[in-house]
Amino acid sequence: MLTVKKRVQKYTESEKETFKTISTSTIGHLTDFGFLKNFHCTVPVFKAAGEVITVKLSNGDGWPLNSALEQAEAGDILVIDPSGNETHACWGEFRARKAEQIGLAAVIVDGAVTDTAHLQRSAVPVFYKSISARTTKSLKLEGEVNTPVSVGGVVFEPGDYVIADQDGIYKFNSLHYKPLVETAIQKEKMEQGKRKIIYGKQ
C-alpha cells in the first residue's frame, strides 16, 4: 500500500527567505541538534535550502519515488528513508534528471546512490551514505510520501525546512527556531564586520 499525505506549511515565506541566508556552520556554533551525521555529497561546494518532502521505501522497492516526485515542487528538498537499505541504490541518473526538471534544491538519501558520474554533474546536489551498482526495482510493495521519517539521526516531517552546504545539513526545529535564527543572523553580521575591519574584506 502507498500512503500519500498532503504538503504542510510550517513557516512563512519571509521566515524561509531568512533561513536561506544562514550558513550551517553559523548554526553549528549555537547548537548540536538538528544536524545529519556522516553524509557524503555529490558536489564539493554549494548552498541549498528548501522545504522538505519525505518518502519512505521498503525492501529495495523504488516505486514510491514516482509518487514523491509527482508531489515535489521547485525548491523542495527530497528526503528519502530507504528503511536501512544501503545495498540497493534508489537514486541515479534518471531520478536525477526528473529532479532537475522539477528544480529540486537537493536530495538527501539515507542509503545508496548510483550513476555517480551523472550525479556529480547534476544541478541537484545529493547527500548520500554509500554508492552501489545494485539498484532498487519497481516492486509496488508499499511506501509512504510526506509522513515523518528518521534520516541521519534527525526526524523529518513534511513542511520542515533544511539548509545544506559543503559543511553540513541542518533541519530547523519548529518548536524553538526563532531565538536561534535571530542569534545566527547577529553572529553573521558581527563576523562580516570583523572580516571588514581586520582583513579589509566583505
Ligand X SMILES: O=C([O-])CC(=O)C(=O)O
Which residues are at the interface with ligand X (CB under 6 A)? 62, 89-95, 114-115, 135-136
Tell me if 118 contacts Mg ion by CB under 5 A. Answer: no
User: Using CA atoms, how far apart are residues 54 and 77, in angstroms rounded to an integer?
Assistant: 8
Binding mask 46-85 for Mg ion (x = CB under 5 A): ----------------------------------------
Q: Is residue 23 within 8 Å of residue 167, measured between CB atoms?
A: yes
- DSSP lists the bridge partners of residue 135 as 89
Query: Can you read off the three cell numbers belonging to residue 65?
Result: 519515488
**Torsion angle of the four alpha carbons 70, 75, 80, 86, in this order, in degrees rounded to the nearest 10:** 120
**Which range of residues in 74-82, 102-110, 115-123, 157-165 is near Mg ion by CB under 5 A?**
115-123
What is the enclosing helix (H) or strand (E) of 56? strand 47-56
For the bound state, the minimum distance from the C-beta of residue 100 to ligand X, rounded and expressed in Å, comes to 12
Contacted entry of Mg ion, ligand X, none for residue 90, CB cut-off 5 to 8 Å set by kind: ligand X
Of the pair 76, 165, the CB lying nearest ligand X is at: 76
Cβ nearer to ligand X, comparing 54 with 114: 114
Beta bridge pairs of residue 77: 52, 106
171 binds, among Mg ion, ligand X, none (CB under 5 to 8 A by kind): none
**Count of C-beta atoms within a 10 Å radius of residue 147:** 16
Shortest separation between residue 45's beta carbon and ligand X, angstroms: 24
Alpha helices in 108-176 (DSSP H): 116-119
Q: Rank residues 16 and 118 by Cβ distance to ligand X and give the closer one.
A: 118
Is residue 131 a contact point for Mg ion (CB under 5 A)? no
Least distance in angstroms from the C-beta of 88 to ligand X:
7
In Å, how far are 59, 90, 94 from 136, measured between CA atoms? 8, 5, 13
Query: Does 76 belong to an annotated binding site?
Result: no
Amino acid at 103: G
Q: Which residues have C-beta within 8 Å of that of residue 181, sequence separation ≥ 6?
A: 15, 18, 19, 22, 172
Minimum distance of ligand X from residue 80's CB (angstroms): 11
- Smallest distance, Mg ion to C-beta of residue 100, A: 14
- Residue ranges of the annotated binding site for Mg(2+) are 115
Name the site residues for Mg ion (rule: CB under 5 A): 92-93, 115
